[in-house]
Amino acid sequence: MHTHDVDEELVAAVAEVARTRCRGDNHTMAAAARATDGRIVTGVNAYHFTGGPCAELVVVGTAAAQGAYGLRTIVAVGDRDRGVVPPCGRCRQALLDYFPALEVVVPPRGRPPRGYR
């Protein structure tokens, strides 16, 4: 996927969730996925010292709970205006295992995560 191919509606949706729902230290990341049927599913992480789920994995579960078993694209955005953030290693592996063809929006090459909004 190239920068010009980014699903801007998806990025805007997750940025709004990060701005309005990520409050305090328990919820610091938001994620959104575009399901294969076109709908957008969102979620936030649930931080816990024991290793709570990342926002991307919350979205996978939420999508399944809503009957959206196929995901096309996913993106995560940090709170406090951090912009698009790439998935951690655990999420990368889980996303690859669940959705091998999934497109993941990441910041442009050579730019820190704040570089793409």
41: β partners: 33
- Number of Cβ within a 10 Å radius of residue 107: 17
Give start and end residues of each alpha helix (H) in 5-103. 8-21, 55-65, 89-98
16 is catalytic: no
8, 9, 56, 103: the active-site residue: 56
Query: Which residue numbers are catalytic?
Result: 56
